[in-house]
């Protein structure tokens, strides 16, 4: 019975022998390299996602700023707003419509 125990123990540790380890060392190094590349890639992807979210937030802020500015400009360009601003300068709205001056260049 002791022999069977020794044989089982020997079989269990056979795959850990130096010969098998060194035969599979290139494959283990390859797997280690793949793991490192995978971890590096995941960090880069997370950094890109964070940067994209910041850019999206900036775009939304700029769109809001554009809409606010456009609204202010369109409101300030209305006739009654202009009339109020030039009224402080002493200018009044014309009562008569403008007329066209025609010049005849015939001699």
Contacts of 76 by beta carbon, 8 Å cutoff, 6+ apart: 82
Q: 10 Å Cβ neighbour count for 56? A: 10
Q: How far apart are CA 64 and CA 70, in angstroms?
A: 10
Residues in the chain with pLDDT values less than 70: 1-16, 107
pLDDT at position 79 is 81
The answer to whether the predicted template modeling score (pTM) of the entire model surpasses 0.75 is no
Distances (CA, A) of 17 to 24, 33, 76, 88: 11, 23, 86, 98
- Per-domain boundaries in the chain: 2-87
């Amino acid at each position: 019975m002791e022999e069977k125990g020794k044989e089982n123990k020997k079989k269990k540790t056979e795959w850990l022998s130096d010969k098998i380890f060194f035969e599979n060392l290139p494959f283990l190094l390859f797997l280690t390299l793949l793991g490192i590349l995978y971890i590096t890639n995941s960090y880069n992807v997370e950094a890109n996602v964070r940067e994209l979210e910041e850019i999206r937030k900036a775009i939304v802020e700029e769109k809001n700023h554009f809409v606010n500015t456009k609204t202010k400009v369109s409101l300030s360009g209305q006739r009654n707003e202009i009339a109020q601003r030039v009224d402080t300068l002493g200018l009044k709205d014309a009562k008569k419509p403008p007329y066209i001056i025609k010049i005849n260049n015939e001699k």
